[in-house]
Amino acid sequence: MLSFITSFLPTSYLPGWLTLDTSPLDCLLQGLVGACGISVLCSLMRVHLFLEESRSDKNEDTSSQRTPSHQRRTKTGLLERLQFIFVTGILTVVGSRVASLVVLEFCLRAVSGRITAGAESGKFLQQLLVQSQFSLGCAFSCGLHFLHEGASQRWLCLLLAAALSWFLAKQASLLLHHVMALYKLHSSQRYCGICISLLKSGRSLLPMLCRAMIITFTVAVVAAISTINKHFLSATEALRFWTPLTICYTLLVVYMQEDQHRLPGSQAVLNAVVVRLGGLMVLMLTVGRWADVLHILMCFLGEASCLIPTMDLLDAASSQDEEDYTDHTKRHRRRRPQAQEKEHQR
């Protein structure tokens, strides 16, 4: 944050750790792209959960008696805009080095959690997508910083990327509002192309999101490793950094997986954020700079601004998993008497 503010001042009288790597306009455009990516992810996750709950309501014939849990949102348009501006500001002032650390930490946690998820892999994927919001913004930020490094017209490239991401975020928001208001009517009457497409291929929305996230974080991991390694003068210093990072976060992932089984979903997620970023802060106090510590404190605010308004998505993902298990049990109980009757008839 200090580096962003002091970048407007003459740098000859400032220490090196207070200066900004790129111009304020570049940082702002990178933060805007990251915030738009978070907005697209949230909108499509809400569409996915709405479609899943609509299918379950249709199977149970109780659509008129139950309201989807993630529709009960308290955010108004003004609050959504304020949150978007705040997240953009956080991603703007967080440096590429700390953004790279957040990306690497998330990827390590995602891979370890996916291996240990087992039978709860579907529930884990949905919750992981919701928890990845701020990490996704950091992935876009450090990825763009790496891809456009050294470009002669860097600001123009970032401006085009920001315009495209803004357009996609707007279209995803319009799709969400359309589905929330008119999906049930249009899917029953079958005269809306958007709703008919979602009715036929809506189940592919979550796999599509997962593939997009894998591609995004794969590029971001390459960018993060390249960015971090530039700050070390020798292989010994790099080993001092990567060894505690890998060991500590492997242990933290195991602890957080056990914690999620003992606590409610939202409380476990908030505890995980504190533990993860607290571990990063301890690591930066050991091998980092004071600017990194300040940026990690900003990451606390960024994670909170992304997770607190979307706690309903976490609850909806958990309840959806429980409902799927209940429906599967009921169908299994119904099939058992039918199979016994067929055996008696034989």
Q: Report long-range pairs for 250-257 (Cβ below 8 Å, ≥24 apart).
A: 250/108, 250/112, 252/109, 252/276, 252/279, 253/108, 253/109, 253/112, 253/113, 253/116, 254/112, 254/116, 256/109, 256/113, 257/112, 257/113, 257/116
Highest-scoring range by mean pLDDT, 201-205, 234-238, 256-260: 201-205
Name the more confident of 2 and 169: 169
Q: What is the mean pLDDT of residues 96-103?
A: 88
Exposure string for 168-193, b = 16+ CB within 10 A, e = fewer: ebeebbebbebbbeebbebbeeeebe
pLDDT at site 264: 55
Is residue 31 predicted with pLDDT exceeding 80?
yes
Structure tokens at 225: 């490793």
pLDDT at site 344: 53
- Classify burial at 287, counting beta carbons within 10 Å of its beta carbon; exposed 0-12, middle 13-18, buried 19 or more: middle
Name the more confident of 208 and 14: 208
Is residue 196 predicted with pLDDT exceeding 80?
yes
Structure tokens at 302: 């960024």
Domain-wise residue ranges, the chain = 23-62+74-329
Query: Is residue 122 within a helix (H) or strand (E), and if so which, with residue range?
Result: helix 121-131
pLDDT at site 79: 85
CB 102 within 8 A of CB 138: yes
The length of the chain, given as a count of residues: 346
> Out of 9-13, 48-52, 217-221, which region has the weakest mean confidence (pLDDT)?
9-13
CB 135 within 8 A of CB 106: yes
Cβ-Cβ contacts under 8 Å for 262 (sequence gap 6 or more) = 268
CB 96 within 8 A of CB 227: yes
Position 64 confidence tier, pLDDT thresholds 50, 70, 90 = very low
- Amino acid of residue 15: P
Position 340 confidence tier, pLDDT thresholds 50, 70, 90 = low
pLDDT at site 14: 42
Structure tokens at 181: 């208001």
- Rounded to an integer, what distance in angstroms lies between the CA atom of residue 292 and that of residue 66? 47
What 3-state class would DSSP assign to 213?
helix
Structure tokens at 157: 């490239």
- Rounded to an integer, what distance in angstroms lies between the CA atom of residue 2 and that of residue 199? 49
